Structure 1
Amino acid sequence: MTELPILYSFRRCPYAMRARMAIAVSGIQVELREVVLRDKPPEMIAVSPKGTVPVLLLGDGNVVDESLDIMRWALAQHDPESWLAHQDAVMIAANDGPFKHALDRYKYPHRYGLADGLEHREAALEHLSGLNELLATQPYLGGSAPAFTDIALFPFVRQFAATDQIWFDALPLPALQAWLNGLLASDLFGQTMTRYPKWTAGDETILFP
């Protein structure tokens, strides 16, 4: 049994991204195994047959394979910036449900048999407009500093913006854009987006953070 928890992750996956950011801010060290989703390692499938990242294998053999649960696990060990005090369950559910549904169809319309994703882009934009209204009154969704809700939503807003960056930058959503750009420029995000080679059994251990 390993002493350190093992995190199976994929750098660009928004679910894995928010899990890594929570682990990084907690300072809890894990063994990072970067996977390629089209060639998932059998070791990951063995502990989490659903085959999605992130997957956290704890030292006692227990498995945590939902990103929000991994965030909560890490922050329960150490929460130096009080992220856990700012969890908006309704906002997170809206992000992970209707917004993610619309985002996928906007970004990948042909996967869903659509000519384009513009209708779904507009549906997603309604959600973002609500975030912009809140952020016009405070710098972060959690208040004066970034916290759990901000990091839970941020990777998905990032993905939406990057789908058509010029169009997104021209939207009348200044508070949301400032929030997004601030998190993109943060040291925390930079740390979590370090590139690592694909992991295979026998590779040298990579520690994170």
Structure 2
Amino acid sequence: MTLPILYSFRRCPYAMRARLALDVAGIELEHREILLKDKPPEMLEASPKGTVPVLVLPDGHVVDESLDVMLWALGQNDPENWLDELDTARPLIEANDGPFKHALDRYKYPNRYENVDPAEQREIGVSILLELEHRLAKQEQLCGDIPGIADAAICPFVRQYAHTDRDWFATTPLPHVRRWLDGHLESELFARIMRKHEVWRVSS
């Protein structure tokens, strides 16, 4: 193996954030698109927990947490200085990956959980996004006026939240979040990382 191998699923927000950092870092790799309902044994052998992204390095080392993939990629090459804002970004990413993701899952997939009110979970999401709204009212991006690691790490999850009910999201008191989200989703970077790939199969 001469290139890193990335096991990914196009619509997974964790995989999206990894692909964003890998693209910005200019990492050449072998992209293996998977189906979550039919995970290849090669991926499960590398990472038995069975979630994406999974990055297998040429030396056999496996990186299978999305934020770790981002940090590995930017540790190789950080042309836009995303790591400069890491200390400021960490609390925002932790809030996204903790309480916001908890509410997002129960809003988007209420049937997977017992005694869940999706409307209540949706409002919890709004309350968390209001913290981002206050930041974005004063600056273009989450940690300043240029995109960085916080924006890349959080944007895919806000996208998923917004797309659950786009008409409703358009009515929320989050104009700066919507402006920020649209800017990222309309960027060339996001278009590149959302290119469709054929599902990877082992060559016979």
Q: 2:106–2:116: 8 Å Cα contact kept in structure 1? A: no
Query: Which position in structure 2 is the counterpart of 1:199?
Result: 200
Structure 1 unaligned regions, length at least 5: 204-209
SS of structure 2 residue aligned to 1:60: coil
Distance of 1:173 and 1:34 partners within structure 2: 34
Query: Which position in structure 1 is the counterpart of 2:6?
Result: 7
- Describe the shift of the 1:184–1:177 C-alpha distance in structure 2 as closer, same or farther (beyond 3 A): same
Tell me the alpha carbon deviations over residues 159-194 of structure 1, each in whole angstroms, 9 at most, x when there is no partner: 000000011011121111100000000000000000
Indicate the RMSD between aligned Cα atoms, in angstroms: 1.0
**Does residue 70 of structure 1 match 2:72?**
no
Tell me the amino acid that sits aligned with residue 186 of structure 1. S
Query: Which position in structure 1 is the counterpart of 2:47?
Result: 48
Q: 1:7–1:55: 8 Å Cα contact kept in structure 2? A: yes
SS of structure 2 residue aligned to 1:89: helix
Query: Which position in structure 2 is the counterpart of 1:109?
Result: 110
Tell me the amino acid that sits aligned with residue 146 of structure 1. P
The size of the alignment, in residue pairs, is 202
| Structure 1 position 116, deviation (Å) | 4.1
**Does residue 21 of structure 1 match 2:46?**
no
The structure with higher relative contact order (CA 8 Å, sep 6+) is 1
Query: Which position in structure 2 is the counterpart of 1:158?
Result: 159
Q: Single out whichever of 115-124 and 57-66 deviates more from structure 2.
A: 115-124
Tell me the amino acid that sits aligned with residue 125 of structure 1. V
Q: Percent identity?
A: 57
List structure 1 runs of 4+ shifted beyond 3 angstroms.
none
SS of structure 2 residue aligned to 1:86: helix
| Structure 1 position 142, deviation (Å) | 2.0
Q: Single out whichever of 170-179 and 127-136 deviates more from structure 2.
A: 170-179
Query: If the length of structure 2 is used for normalisation, what is the TM-score?
Result: 0.97
**Does residue 92 of structure 1 match 2:93?**
yes
Distance of 1:142 and 1:6 partners within structure 2: 31
| Structure 1 position 115, deviation (Å) | 6.1
Query: Which position in structure 2 is the counterpart of 1:139?
Result: 140
Tell me the amino acid that sits aligned with residue 146 of structure 2. A
SS of structure 1 residue aligned to 2:107: helix
Distance of 2:116 and 2:13 partners within structure 1: 25
